A and B are shown apart, each in its own frame.
Chain A
Amino acid sequence: MGARAFAHRDLIAIGALERHEILYLLDEAEQWVALNRQAKKHVDLLSGLTIINAFFENSTRTLLSFEIAGKRLGADVVNMHAATSSVKKGETLIDTAVTLNAMRADAIVIRHASSGAVGLIASKVDCPVLNAGDGSHEHPTQALLDALALRYKLRERGMAADDFTGLVVTICGDILHSRVARSNILSLTALGASVRVCAPPALMPAGIEALGAQPFTDFDAALAGADVVMMLRLQNERMDGQFIPSPREYRHLYGLTAERLALAGEDAIVMHPGPMNRGVEIDSNVADLAGRSIITAQVEMGVALRMACLDVLTRRTRGVPGWADGEWV
C-alpha cells in the first residue's frame, strides 16, 4: 500500500487526517490488539530506535500507554518529565525541542499545556512527532483509541461496518477545555457518526456546530436515542474563574446516573477517557456496567493503537519498502 496510506510525517491533529487515514490506523492497530492479548507481548520491529516521551504536563495513563507501546515494539523508550527538566529553569520550548532533536530521537511523543505547542515543536525537529495532547486543541491518539474500542464493541455485538455511519454519539462534559472532545468530534464525524455535545453554556465553546457537532445544554435531551455516551471530566486545572456553581450541582444536571443512562438508546455504550471522577460526572454503577461500559477496553486499545501509530510513523526511518519516498505532508 505504501506511504500514500498515511502520508504524514507527524500525528498532530485528527483535523489534518482524511477518513481513509483514520481507518488505516485503526486497521493497523488490530494486529497489536491480538499481540497484546498473548503472554509474550514483544516484537523487534522498532529495535534500535529511540523514542522520547516528552511530557510537559502531568499524565499517568497516556505516558504509561506510550511507554508500553514503544517497549513492546522493541524501541528504546526514554521519558522526560517537565517537572525534572530544564523547562523549569526557564529554557524556551524551542530550545528544548532543538535539544531533543540533537539527541537523535526517531520519534518524539509530546504533551504540552498550550494549544499548538506540539505542532510548534514538530516544526523544529527532524523526526516524527506524536501529539499526546496539546492544551485544549487535540489529543488524536485518544480519539483513535476511542474509535478502535468502539469498533471492537460494535463488532462484538455483530455489527459488521468499518465505520460509524448512522451511530449517534453524545459527548457530555467540559467541552470548552477538552482536547479529547475536539479530536473525537472530528474523528467520529469523519467516520459517519452524528455527534451531540452537551455542557452548561459556560463550558460550551462558541461555534462548535462548525466542527459538525450538535450542541445541547439539556443532558436528558442529548441522551435521547444515543447509541454511545462519552463522559468527560471537569478540567478544573484549565478553568480561569468559576464555570459551575459546585460539583454537586454539576452532578445534578450532568452526572451520568443509571436513571439517566436509561434515557439513551437500548444497550447504549458508555465511554470515558479517564481519569474519572466517580460520583461527579459518572456514577460507579454506570462506569462499571458490564456489557455496556467499555472504559477499560479504551485503555487496552490505547496501547495497541499507539503501537500502530509508532509503527506507521517510523516506517520511513526504518526503510520499509514503499514508505521511503513520496509526498509527506
Chain B
Amino acid sequence: MKQLRPVTITGGKLVTASGVAEGNLRFAEGEIVSLGEQPQDGDAIVDARGALVVPGLVDLGVFDVDKPAFHFGGITRAGLMPDRSPPLDLPSRVRFVAQSGKPDFWVHPFAAATVGLEGQQLAELALMREAGAKAVATGRDWIADSGVMLRLLQYAAMLDLTVVSHAEDGGLAGRAAASAGEMATRLGLPSAPAEAEALAIARDLALAELAGARLHFRQVTTRAGLDLVRAAKARGLKITAGVTPAHFMLSDLALGGYRTFARLSPPLRREEDRLAVVDAIGDGTIDVVSSGHDPRGPEDKNLPFIDAAPGMAGAETLLPMVLTLVRDGVIDMPRAFDLLASAPARLLGVKAGLLESGYEADIALVDPVRPWVVSSAKMTAAAGNTPFDKQPVEGRVTALWKGGVAVEL
C-alpha cells in the first residue's frame, strides 16, 4: 500500500534529536518531506491536539511477528531474532520472513549466526544478507566455542553486519532459571551467578576487538557487565548494548510466588543490578531499549517455574515503561526516542527512526500522560505473559503511520 495523498500533522510537539518543539510535520509518498512548514493545498490535515509526534519505534530483537501488539505499542519495524522453528539459517527463510509484515509492518530478520543455532558451523551469512538480513544473531544462547565466535565476528565484520550476542556464559548458566541469591535460594530454584553475563561479555569484547567487528549485546543486565561495556566504549570499540524494560523495572523479587511471567532470559537480577541498568541508560552506556517481545501461551507458562519457557510479551508496554525513565529524570524525551527508534534504526542501517526529511514516514502520535492499566487478560498480543500485569502506567499511542499510510489501532 502506498501513501496516496500528502499528510500534514499540525498542532503536535515534534520530538527530534535536538528537542521537543511545537510544529507541523509533512510527509508524502511514504517519506518525511518537511518539519515546521505549513500544509500545502491538497494535503490531508491531521490535528495532533498537543500530542507528541514521534518516529515509529524500531524494536530490536523480537521473537514473534505479532502485528497487533506492535501497532498498539507504536512499533513500525522490528529486528526479528533467528530463533524460529525452523531457525533463520537459510536465505529462503530470511527472504520469506522479511516480507511477512508488509505493508503495515516491516520485519528486519537477523540471520542465524550458526547452522541450527547450534553454535558450531557458520551459516551462509552473505547469502542471507542478500536475502534481507540486517544483522547476525547468536540466538537465545551464547556461542560457547571461542574459535567459532572469533570466525563469526571476522566474517560479519567483512560483510559489515552487526553481530547480536546473547551475553550469558552457557557453562555457568546451565539450566538456571534465576540469578543466584536470596530469592532463588528461598524458592529452591536452580540458579547461576549473575557473573555469567560479565564473563560472556569480557570474552566477546576481546574477540570483537581482535576481529574489528561491530558487536551488539542484546541485553546487558548487571553492573559488572555494564562496566565492561562502558570501558570498551571508552576505548573506542564498536560496541552497543541493549536492555528490555523488565531489567530496569523489576528485580528478582518479582519471582515471588513462582510467577512464570517473570521467568526471563537472562533472569531478573538483584536490585543493585537493576539500579545499575537505570544508571547505564542515563549515562549512555545502553544504546537501545527493546521489548524482547516473546508471547507465550499457557502451554509454555502455566507450568512449574523451572519447566516454563522464558520470555515476556513486551511490545505493548515498551513505550510506557521507557516514559517512566523520562518522568523520573533519568533521560529526556529526545533520548527516549533515540533509545526506542533512532539508535536501533542506525544499528540496522535503515533510514527510519528519526523525524527528518528524507526518512521513512513511520510516525506515531503519543499521549505521554494518558493513564491505563496493563492487564494480562486484555492484551492485544498473541499471549498475555507480561511481568507488569495490573500495573498502572502512562503513555499511549493514539495514531500510527507506516510509510505514510495510517494504521488502524
What is the interface of chain A, defined by CB distance below 8 A to chain B?
Answer: 15, 92-94, 112, 114-117, 119-120, 134-138, 179, 182, 205-208, 210-211, 240-241
Residue B368 interfacial (CB < 8 Å): no
The 8 closest A-B pairs by CB, nearest first: A114-B304, A116-B258, A136-B188, A207-B182, A137-B188, A206-B180, A117-B304, A115-B188
Residue B235 interfacial (CB < 8 Å): no
**Which residue in chain B gives the minimum CB-CB distance to A186?**
B186
- Complex: A164 Cα to B183 Cα, angstroms: 27
In the complex, chain B residues whose CB is within 8 Å of the CB of A92: 299, 302-303
* Contact indicator per residue, chain B 166-193, by CB within 8 Å of chain A (1) or not (0): 0000000011000011111111111101
Residue B305 interfacial (CB < 8 Å): yes
Asked if B188 and A138 make an inter-chain contact with CB atoms under 8 angstroms apart, the answer reads yes
- Complex: A208 Cα to B183 Cα, angstroms: 10
In the complex, chain B residues whose CB is within 8 Å of the CB of A179: 188
In the complex, chain B residues whose CB is within 8 Å of the CB of A210: 182, 185-186
With both chains docked as a complex, state the minimum distance between the C-beta of B236 and any C-beta of chain A, in angstroms. 36
Which residues 244-288 of B have a CB within 8 angstroms of A?
257-258
Asked if B185 and A120 make an inter-chain contact with CB atoms under 8 angstroms apart, the answer reads no
In this complex, the member of B184, B188, B189 whose beta carbon has the largest number of chain A beta carbons within 10 angstroms is B188
In the complex, chain A residues whose CB is within 8 Å of the CB of B326: none
- Complex: A208 Cα to B187 Cα, angstroms: 11
Asked if B175 and A240 make an inter-chain contact with CB atoms under 8 angstroms apart, the answer reads yes
Asked if B305 and A115 make an inter-chain contact with CB atoms under 8 angstroms apart, the answer reads yes
In the complex, chain A residues whose CB is within 8 Å of the CB of B180: 205-207
Asked if A182 and B188 make an inter-chain contact with CB atoms under 8 angstroms apart, the answer reads yes
Q: With A206-B181, A206-B182, A207-B181 as given contacts, are A115 and B303 in contact (CB-CB < 8 Å)?
A: no
Which residues 144-201 of B have a CB within 8 angstroms of A?
174-175, 180-191, 193
Contacts A116-B305, A206-B185, A207-B185 known; list 13 others, CB within 8 Å: A92-B302, A93-B303, A115-B189, A116-B187, A119-B258, A120-B258, A135-B304, A136-B188, A205-B180, A205-B184, A207-B180, A207-B181, A211-B182
- Complex: A137 Cα to B190 Cα, angstroms: 10
Which residues 297-333 of B have a CB within 8 angstroms of A?
298-299, 302-307
Interface size class of B (residues with CB under 8 A): 20 to 34
In the complex, chain B residues whose CB is within 8 Å of the CB of A116: 187-189, 258, 304-306
What is the interface of chain B, defined by CB distance below 8 A to chain A?
Answer: 174-175, 180-191, 193, 257-258, 298-299, 302-307
In this complex, the member of A94, A206, A208, A241 whose beta carbon has the largest number of chain B beta carbons within 10 angstroms is A206
In the complex, chain A residues whose CB is within 8 Å of the CB of B307: 114
- Complex: A116 Cα to B301 Cα, angstroms: 13
Asked if A115 and B187 make an inter-chain contact with CB atoms under 8 angstroms apart, the answer reads yes
Q: With A135-B188, A206-B193 as given contacts, are A114 and B306 in contact (CB-CB < 8 Å)?
A: yes
Asked if B191 and A206 make an inter-chain contact with CB atoms under 8 angstroms apart, the answer reads yes
Asked if B186 and A15 make an inter-chain contact with CB atoms under 8 angstroms apart, the answer reads yes
- Complex: A93 Cα to B308 Cα, angstroms: 12
With both chains docked as a complex, state the minimum distance between the C-beta of A197 and any C-beta of chain B, in angstroms. 11
Asked if B304 and A93 make an inter-chain contact with CB atoms under 8 angstroms apart, the answer reads yes
In the complex, chain A residues whose CB is within 8 Å of the CB of B181: 206-207
With both chains docked as a complex, state the minimum distance between the C-beta of A161 and any C-beta of chain B, in angstroms. 28
**Which residue in chain B gives the minimum CB-CB distance to A121?**
B304
In the complex, chain B residues whose CB is within 8 Å of the CB of A117: 304
Residue among B174, B189, B304 making CB contact with A120, cutoff 8 Å? B304
- Complex: A15 Cα to B257 Cα, angstroms: 12
- Complex: A112 Cα to B304 Cα, angstroms: 10
- Complex: A7 Cα to B29 Cα, angstroms: 68
Can you list 23 pairs linking A and B with CB atoms under 8 Å apart?
A: A93-B304, A114-B306, A115-B189, A115-B306, A116-B188, A116-B258, A116-B304, A119-B257, A120-B303, A135-B188, A137-B188, A182-B185, A182-B188, A205-B184, A206-B180, A206-B184, A206-B191, A206-B193, A207-B181, A207-B185, A210-B186, A211-B185, A240-B190
Q: With A206-B191, A207-B180, A240-B174 as given contacts, are A115 and B304 in contact (CB-CB < 8 Å)?
A: yes
In the complex, chain B residues whose CB is within 8 Å of the CB of A134: 188
With both chains docked as a complex, state the minimum distance between the C-beta of B269 and any C-beta of chain A, in angstroms. 13
- Complex: A112 Cα to B258 Cα, angstroms: 15
Residue among A93, A136, A211, A241 making CB contact with B189, cutoff 8 Å? A136
With both chains docked as a complex, state the minimum distance between the C-beta of B224 and any C-beta of chain A, in angstroms. 15
In the complex, chain A residues whose CB is within 8 Å of the CB of B302: 92, 94
- Complex: A210 Cα to B307 Cα, angstroms: 26
- Complex: A120 Cα to B183 Cα, angstroms: 18
**Which residue in chain A gives the minimum CB-CB distance to B299?**
A92
In the complex, chain B residues whose CB is within 8 Å of the CB of A93: 303-304
In the complex, chain B residues whose CB is within 8 Å of the CB of A208: 185
In the complex, chain B residues whose CB is within 8 Å of the CB of A211: 182, 185-186
In the complex, chain A residues whose CB is within 8 Å of the CB of B257: 119
- Complex: A241 Cα to B176 Cα, angstroms: 12
With both chains docked as a complex, state the minimum distance between the C-beta of B177 and any C-beta of chain A, in angstroms. 9
In the complex, chain B residues whose CB is within 8 Å of the CB of A205: 180, 184-185, 191
With both chains docked as a complex, state the minimum distance between the C-beta of A178 and any C-beta of chain B, in angstroms. 9
With both chains docked as a complex, state the minimum distance between the C-beta of B225 and any C-beta of chain A, in angstroms. 18
